[in-house]
Every structure is written in structure tokens, then in C-alpha cells.
Amino acid sequence: MRNLYQVKQDICAIGDRLYKRGYAAGNDGNISFRISENEVVCTPTMISKGFMTPDDLCIVDMNGNQLAGKRKATSEIRLHLTIMKERPEVKSVVHCHPPFATAFGMAREPIPPCALPEIEIHLGEVPIAKYAIPGGQEFADTVLQFVHKTKVVVLANHGTVSWGENPEQAYWYTEMLDAYCHMLILAKTIGNVGYFTKEEEEELLALKKKWGIDDPRFAMKDCDMCSNDVFRDSWKEAGLAHRGFNPPSFKEEKADDQEALIAEITKRVVEALQR
């Protein structure tokens, strides 16, 4: 077991960052860290994440039963435990409400990839899970189809959840995603988002593979790398559709090329017949 007091200090430090970044207003958000096979330290309910002390934190088992703590454990601990059960190597989960990433979840707008190298390398395509009332197992299960393909999920009309080896790493993924979503919205207000070309994206994915960072697009056949193909099967149940951002589709570019070729051939055939 890790040093329990240090784990609690680490969680409180991340809680402070969530609060100061505006990711956890009021008593929003929750953080967890798995300290043994059957024990998880987590934040309590009804407390500001920016003003916690180690003594405020709770310990639950992997079924959500509270083992220790003077405060009641967060009601959304099932979300954390579901991820940890599905991915035993995951030790920490962070759930919060970063405003720009959450805005995409409220708009049910797929987050376009292929616009920032750091996001392509460290996150890749990010899914949006369907809405469910927070706190129950149905809510927790909304992320199951994504947990092996990403490190962070946007929860429709709710917030985000991210995971990693420790609270800081789990927090990083949320911070990176929210910054990216902010940039996308700013670029859109200026008038346009410039996406990578097919060749530029292939270079980034090759670099990612070289560094040993997995990406679902590696295994996809005929993957249109920048058109939100990875999680498209989940769009209908989550109510997602492109409304504000239309990422480039290399398949569409190929179709346009074919149409142009057919038009040119038709034109030449007509001219030949007229002669």
C-alpha cells in the first residue's frame, strides 16, 4: 500500500487545481486513487474541492462500501470503480466540469481532431458518452465502451472523466482537453479551424506509434483519420451530430476528385461528339 497520507495530500492538491481552474464550482467534481486491490481513497460529497484537507477524504472498497472517513463518500464513486474494474492498471480517476469541454457535451457536438499536435499525440480522438442521471450504475456504464480506446471521456450534459496512474496524470488529460476545446471555440469565432492534411496527420500518427502511444486509428481499416470515425457508432445513442464544426474528410476529398475527373471526361466526350 502506498503512503496513505501522501495519497490524500496528492488528491487535495489536485482538488485545489480543479477549483482554481474553474473545473469544479461549488461542491462539483470528485477524485479517487486506488491504494490496494480492494481499497480506494476518494473525495467526499458536499465539499468544495479547493478547500479539502486529508482528514476529509474517505476510503471505499471496490463495491463502493465505505470503509473509513468521517464524511460520506461521493455519490459518483461508481463511475470511478467501473473504470478501475474494467482497466485494473488504472489507479486514479478525476471527474469534473471543465467549461469548454463540457460545452461540447452540452451541444452534443463531436470534438474535431487533427488541429493540434499535442492533442493528437497525447489524447487522439475524444468520445462523448450518452447522458444518464449522475450517480447510478447506468451512469457509470455509459463510459464502458470507451475506456480501452481513450484516456478521457466527455459526459453529455455533465462534464468529463479522465484516468491515469495517479491523480496528477488523470488531471492532465482533462486540462489538455479543455484547453483544446477552448482553442477550437476561439478559432471558430475568428472564422475558421485549419485542420491537418492527410500527410501531416499520418506523420503525427507515425510519431505516436514510434513513441509507443496507442491509438485506435492504428487498427482501423480505411480510417478517415480526421472525420471522427473512431467513435461514430456511439453518436446515435448520444444524440451527436456535426452542427458547429465540420472536420475534413479525406474520403470526401477523394470523392470530389473522382467527380471532377468524371466531369472532365464527360466534357471531352461531348466535345469529341460535337466535332
* Those residues with Cβ within 8 angstroms of residue 54's Cβ, 6 or more apart along the chain or in another chain: 5, 8, 9, 12
Which pLDDT value is given to residue 219? Answer: 87
Distance CA(75)–CA(97), nearest Å, equals 16
Mean pLDDT of 221-231: 85
- The DSSP H or E segment spanning 154 is strand 152-155
Mean pLDDT of 87-115: 97
What SS3 state is found at 120? helix
Residue 186 has pLDDT above 50, yes or no: yes
Mean pLDDT of 2-14: 95
pLDDT by residue (tens digit) across 168-179? 999 999 999 999
What SS3 state is found at 38? coil
Residue 235 has pLDDT above 60, yes or no: yes
Which pLDDT value is given to residue 258? Answer: 52
Residue 274 one-letter amino acid: Q
Which pLDDT value is given to residue 253? Answer: 46
Residue 223 has pLDDT above 80, yes or no: no
Q: Looking at 76, 109, 125, 201, which residue is catalytic?
A: 76
* β-bridge pairing 66-68 and 58-60: antiparallel
Considering only CA atoms, which of 228, 219, 217, 225 is closest in space to residue 254?
Answer: 225
Residue 224 has pLDDT above 90, yes or no: no
Residue matched to cell numbers 484516456: 151
Which pLDDT value is given to residue 240? Answer: 97
Least confident stretch, 12-16, 116-120, 162-166, 244-248: 244-248
pLDDT by residue (tens digit) across 44-98? 999 999 999 999 999 999 999 999 999 999 999 999 999 999 999 999 999 999 9
Backbone torsions φ then ψ of 128, nearest 5 degrees: -120, 120
Distance CA(30)–CA(48), nearest Å, equals 10
For this structure, is 76 an active site residue? yes
Which pLDDT value is given to residue 18? Answer: 98
pTM here is: 0.89
Considering only CA atoms, which of 153, 176, 160, 9 is closest in space to residue 87?
Answer: 153
Backbone torsions φ then ψ of 243, nearest 5 degrees: -120, -35
Cα distances (angstroms) measured from residue 212 to each of 56, 91, 196: 39, 20, 22
Distance CA(104)–CA(101), nearest Å, equals 5
Residue 251 has pLDDT above 70, yes or no: no
Mean pLDDT of 115-135: 97
> What domains are there in the chain, each with its CATH number?
4-190 (3.40.225.10)
Which pLDDT value is given to residue 230? Answer: 94
Residue 9 one-letter amino acid: Q
Which pLDDT value is given to residue 248? Answer: 79
Q: Are 116 and 197 in contact (CB under 8 A)?
A: no
Which pLDDT value is given to residue 105? Answer: 98
What SS3 state is found at 41? strand
